[in-house]
Amino acid sequence: MTTSASLFEKAKQLIPGGVNSPVRAFRSVGGTPFFTEKASGSHLHTADGKELIDYVCTWGPAIHGHDHPIIREAIAESLSKGTSFGTPGPAEVEMAELIVELVPSVEKVRMCNSGTEATMSAIRLARGFTNRDKIIKFAGCYHGHVDSLLVKAGSGALTLGNPDSAGVPASFAGETIVLPYNDLNAVSETLATTTDQIAAIIVEPYPANCGLILPLPGYLEGLRKLCTDYGVVLIFDEVMTGFRLGLGGVQERTGIIPDLTAMGKIIGGGLPVGAFGGKEEIMNHLAPLGPVYQAGTLSGNPLAMAAGIASLKLLKEAKPYEKLEKIGQELASGVLSMAKDKGIALQVPQVGSMFCLFFGEEEVTQFEQAVTTNHEYFNAFFHKCLDKGLYLPPSSYETCFISNAHTADDVSKTLDIFQYALGTFS
């Protein structure tokens, strides 16, 4: 039987680090990554014959769990008509209708093939619309591997300790101003001193790539007002939170409406899809209407549209958000009380189906605090859980995801495993 270890040895000879995305390599938690043979519902089945309760959910897309029959059927039905046409197709219109219906900021939308393409295109569009060059991002936020956004980035870049990637020319990075999240003064001071130079502010409204950080009261409202006052395009990167924290994402939960929104993950139903959308006035600057070029051979691919449409329709029908919030609260409060009983300092920020584990005394409201939490404790906790059949994201700079396929039995087993893992801490 080919094991994960043997597959990984072979993969490392052919693929840099043996993986097609760095965070999968277990470099921060240590050990050998398992290879997945099959995924179904809330479980992964590894090449080593192990079954795991999955809290990564392929980094967000699998909100219905893996291999949902309705999504599988939608893909099969689309497949019977071919795989890619390179012409406009009816599924693209249906997907656009759904996104415009569900996401408050979106009057027009353009499909692409990843979250990275979505944020990259939104930034270019904002620059083309404003004729300004500089952008503001926030330390610890990750917006995909876009050159101008791989500056103090989170997720895999931070996990590997290089939040400022090699290969990004200083001239590119110089157009990006990095500010601390949850600090409105930093934004207002910067805008006041760089008048008319800032094209956009891009933000994960709830940063989830340096662990999960929640906005302080008034912060997002303040960003919105400052952008309006200075004519700066406000971009919400909802690649992760979109459709996960509500049908309309954070902007629906908070009523704070950005000018542009980057989307991905859930709208692909597990296939490669990204999208960006927003005010018609801005979106009409895109080719072929306007001067901002953006394109993609497989953008709006019919199979991916079929999977994404099925995923969104399932969400509209199931509206799983109360259930996901309840499970999220049960897991967070459960592990917190266990840690308290054992005198282990732990923070568990949680919203809806998203939560993370910061081992440390203080509440984490900024990237710098996330960096100083106890990563060794997290890594030990991660492996103790994995040994018992529980798969958390393999980095303390990621966020756990709950799916609508997670059962009461999964939750009770999860809490038992959390209890065991904390019990191994001396």
Please state, in angstroms and rounded to a whole number, the distance separating the CA atoms of residues 43 and 52.
5
Task: Give the residue from 201, 213, 183 showing the smallest Cα distance to 398.
Answer: 213
**How many Cβ atoms sit within 10 Å of the Cβ of residue 399?**
30
Q: How far is the CB of 123 from ligand KE4 (least distance, A)?
A: 12
Please state, in angstroms and rounded to a whole number, the distance separating the CA atoms of residues 420 and 414.
10
Please state, in angstroms and rounded to a whole number, the distance separating the CA atoms of residues 362 and 347.
7
Nearer to ligand KE4, 19 or 184 (CB): 19
| Contact call for residue 251 and ligand KE4 (CB under 6 A) | no
Q: How far is the CB of 237 from ligand KE4 (least distance, A)?
A: 5
When binding is defined by CB under 6 A, the residue of 398, 400, 403, 411 that contacts ligand KE4 is 398
Task: Give the residue from 166, 171, 120 showing the smallest Cα distance to 146.
Answer: 120
Residues 296-335 that bind ligand KE4 (CB under 6 A): none
The site string for ligand KE4 over 192-231 (x = CB under 6 A, - otherwise) reads ------------x----x----------------------
Q: Which stretch binds ligand KE4 (CB under 6 A): 138-146, 165-173, 289-297, 315-323?
A: 138-146
When binding is defined by CB under 6 A, the residue of 2, 21, 333, 412 that contacts ligand KE4 is 21
Q: Provide CB contacts within 8 A for 216, sequence distance 6+.
A: 182, 365
Residues 254-283 that bind ligand KE4 (CB under 6 A): 264, 274
| Contact call for residue 353 and ligand KE4 (CB under 6 A) | no
The site string for ligand KE4 over 101-120 (x = CB under 6 A, - otherwise) reads -------------xxx--x-
Task: Give the residue from 270, 343, 349, 296 showing the smallest Cα distance to 84.
Answer: 296
Active site residue 183: no
Q: How far is the CB of 32 from ligand KE4 (least distance, A)?
A: 18
Nearer to ligand KE4, 155 or 365 (CB): 155
Task: Give the residue from 312, 135, 144 showing the smallest Cα distance to 238.
Answer: 144
Contact 243, 95 (CB under 8 A): no
Please state, in angstroms and rounded to a whole number, the distance separating the CA atoms of residues 53 and 4.
18
Q: What angle do CA 268, 273, 278 make, to 5 degrees?
A: 105
Q: What angle do CA 377, 163, 200 make, to 5 degrees?
A: 125
- Give phi and psi for 41, each to the nearest 5: 60, -130
* Total residues binding ligand KE4 (CB under 6 A): 20
Distance of CA 141 to the CA centre of its chain: 10
| Contact call for residue 23 and ligand KE4 (CB under 6 A) | yes
DSSP assignment of 57-87 equals GGGTT-TT-BT-HHHHHHHHHHHTT-S--SS
- Catalytic site residue from 55, 142, 377, 391: 142
Active site residue 67: no
Please state, in angstroms and rounded to a whole number, the distance separating the CA atoms of residues 58 and 5.
21
Nearer to ligand KE4, 18 or 264 (CB): 264
Nearer to ligand KE4, 266 or 422 (CB): 266
First-to-last alpha carbon distance for the chain, in angstroms, is 37
When CB distances to ligand KE4 are compared, the closest residue is 115
When binding is defined by CB under 6 A, the residue of 99, 112, 198, 240 that contacts ligand KE4 is 240
Q: How far is the CB of 311 from ligand KE4 (least distance, A)?
A: 15
Which helix or strand (DSSP H or E) is residue 111 part of?
A: strand 108-112
Q: How far is the CB of 423 from ligand KE4 (least distance, A)?
A: 29
When binding is defined by CB under 6 A, the residue of 65, 140, 156, 211 that contacts ligand KE4 is 156
Please state, in angstroms and rounded to a whole number, the distance separating the CA atoms of residues 316 and 195.
42
| Contact call for residue 352 and ligand KE4 (CB under 6 A) | no
Active site residue 319: no
Nearer to ligand KE4, 66 or 338 (CB): 66
Q: Which stretch binds ligand KE4 (CB under 6 A): 84-92, 142-150, 171-179, 307-315?
A: 142-150
Q: How far is the CB of 274 from ligand KE4 (least distance, A)?
A: 6
The secondary structure of residue 391, as a DSSP letter, is: E
- Catalytic site residue from 181, 206, 237, 384: 237
Contact residues for ligand KE4, defined by CB under 6 A: 21, 23, 59, 114-116, 119, 142-144, 155-156, 204, 209, 237, 239-240, 264, 274, 398
Query: Could you list the active site residues?
Result: 142, 237, 265
